[in-house]
Amino acid sequence: MTSLDDWIKYGDELRRPLLVNPKLGDSDSVVIVGGGLSGMCCAYRIATKRPNLKVTIIERSSQLGGVIATWQDGEWICDLAVNAARPHPAFWRLVDDLSLSDKFTTSSQEAKSRWILSAGRSHKLTWRTLFKLGPLRLRKSLKRARQGGVSVAQLIPNEPIADALCLGIVNDTADNVDADFLMPSLTKFGSEPPVKKSRLRKLISQSYPIFTPSRGSIASIEGGMQVIIDVLGKKLSSMDNVTIEYNQSAKSPASVAKQYAVPIESVVWAAPGLQESYAESQLSIFAVGYQNEIVSRVKIGYGTLIPDNNIPISGILNESDIHQSKRSPVGHRLFRLMVPHSRWDGDDQSVLNCAESLLGKKPVLFAKIGERSIPRYPPGYMSRLSQIEHDCTYVGWAVSGVSITHVVAEAERIAELF
């Protein structure tokens, strides 16, 4: 399925392998393992398209959403994982289908800037930063990356920039991250679109429901990402052909097929654990809030990435700057701190000290709001994925790409089989 219409619907997602069993579409009953955004979207898309087909979600925990959750304390609102979506029509379609359009807004135009803090100095990250690497060097590494299987460090020949990009997306350093998985359009993994990139971009931009996002913008939901999970969860619970089983941990696709008396091709694995070598990196997330005056020297922007192993905080997201909807009480600003466990002694005080030195003294809010794990995508990951033998269907961010736009688009592609 690589027609122009498909490219308009999914864009560069079509470069990624879809680990689907082609017989999935013939199923009378589908069992989905994992009730994160991926499992929920697959269930929603399939169950909507085929109301006579039975869909069961098995979720290990007592709630839906997986890594997505929003923490709230009075007027302070902070997402634990994803806080906004990059432009992709599939995500806009999901928001539209969930009737959440009136809560969905583009991020603040003033908060676009991102910085890298390296060797004690703050550098603004722009596309020009990449050109500063030297066009010849960059061209050479791009050419090499197109042979496949290289790391992001090999693709972007500047350690702090490459590390910062990877930290911001997958909580890992660039030499550990597969360039094909993170940036398939740059490495030209998979098939090419049937029209020029600029023409395709134009066609895609005309296909958005709700509003056409401007390039480089992001968009978020009033109240945080939990709102999407809650509305999607309610929709699923109200569908006659959907059953959700909580507190059930599946052992393997084969055991699920046996337990639910379905052929293995009717199992959709939307949980971690596709590869035996599956590994994750851990991080803790802190919310820190200040009165405006205390942080007046902190520029309004998206946030700062810190590729420095001697500092426990790897990234600061300026949450109350980013979103048009409210995330902090009037006169205050909220920041989210990402703290990889590989860089942290485990003492909250170290994080507070670091936050005070980077942002300002005496925050009015300082709270650890949770812990999360992110799959690792070592060099060669995407090539291995595309060759993996699979008897059931595998979806989710261990397969689809790391962002929510990937898992949402993947669910639509899977439902097209039905």
Binding site residues, ligand FAD, CB under 6 A = 33-39, 58-61, 66-68, 81-83, 249-250, 270-272, 372, 374, 396-397, 402-405, 407
Nearest distance in Å: CB 42, ligand FAD: 9
**Closest approach of Cβ 369 to ligand FAD, in Å?**
11
Beta carbon of residue 161, minimum distance to ligand FAD (angstroms, whole number)? 19
Task: State which residue, 360 or 396, has the beta carbon closest to ligand FAD.
Answer: 396
Contacts of 222 (CB under 8 A, 6+ apart): 103, 104, 105, 325
In terms of CB distance, is 359 or 374 closer to ligand FAD? 374
C-beta of 394: minimal distance to ligand FAD in Å? 10
To ligand FAD, the closest distance from the beta carbon of 383 in angstroms equals 21
**Residue 331 Cβ, how far from ligand FAD at the closest point, in Å?**
27
Distance CA 197, CA 74 (A): 46
Phi, psi (deg, nearest 5) at residue 254:
-65, -40
Residue 213 is classified by DSSP as P
Please state, in angstroms and rounded to a whole number, the distance separating the CA atoms of residues 39 and 35.
5
Nearer to ligand FAD, 21 or 220 (CB): 220
Give least dist CB 251 to ligand FAD, A.
7
CA distance 81 to 375: 13
Least distance between ligand FAD and beta carbon 19 (Å):
13
Q: List 370's β-bridge partners, or say none.
A: 285
The residue among 37 and 90 lying less far from ligand FAD, judged by its C-beta, is 37
Rama region for 362: left / alpha / beta (φ>0; ψ in -120 to 50; rest): left
Task: Please name the helix (run of DSSP H) or strand (run of DSSP E) that holds residue 91, with its range, or none.
Answer: helix 89-97
Nearer to ligand FAD, 233 or 360 (CB): 233
Q: Which is nearer to ligand FAD, 150 or 227 (CB)?
A: 227
Q: Which long-range contacts (CB under 8 A, 24 or more apart) does 43-47 make?
A: 43/236, 43/242, 44/232, 44/235, 44/236, 44/411, 45/411, 45/412, 45/414, 45/415, 46/414, 46/415, 46/418, 47/236, 47/239, 47/241, 47/242
Closest separation in Å from C-beta 305 to ligand FAD = 12
| Residue nearer to ligand FAD on the CB measure, 82 or 262 | 82
Least distance (Å) between residue 404 CB and ligand FAD: 4
The whole-angstrom separation of Cα 196 and Cα 145 is 21
- How far from the centroid of its chain's Cα atoms is residue 32's Cα? 20
Strands 393-394 and 267-269: parallel
CA distances from 139 to 45, 157, 166, 187 (A): 41, 10, 20, 11
Secondary structure E strands in 185-260:
219-221, 242-245
Can you tell me the distance from the alpha carbon of 173 to that of 377, in angstroms, rounded to the nearest whole number?
A: 11
Return the number of the residue (33 or 294) whose C-beta is nearest ligand FAD.
33
Task: Give whichever of 39 and 87 is closer to ligand FAD, judged by the CB atom.
Answer: 39
Which position has the token pair 């990196």? 281
Residue closer to ligand FAD (CB basis): 229 or 294: 229
Q: How far apart are CA 98 and CA 177, in angstroms?
A: 34
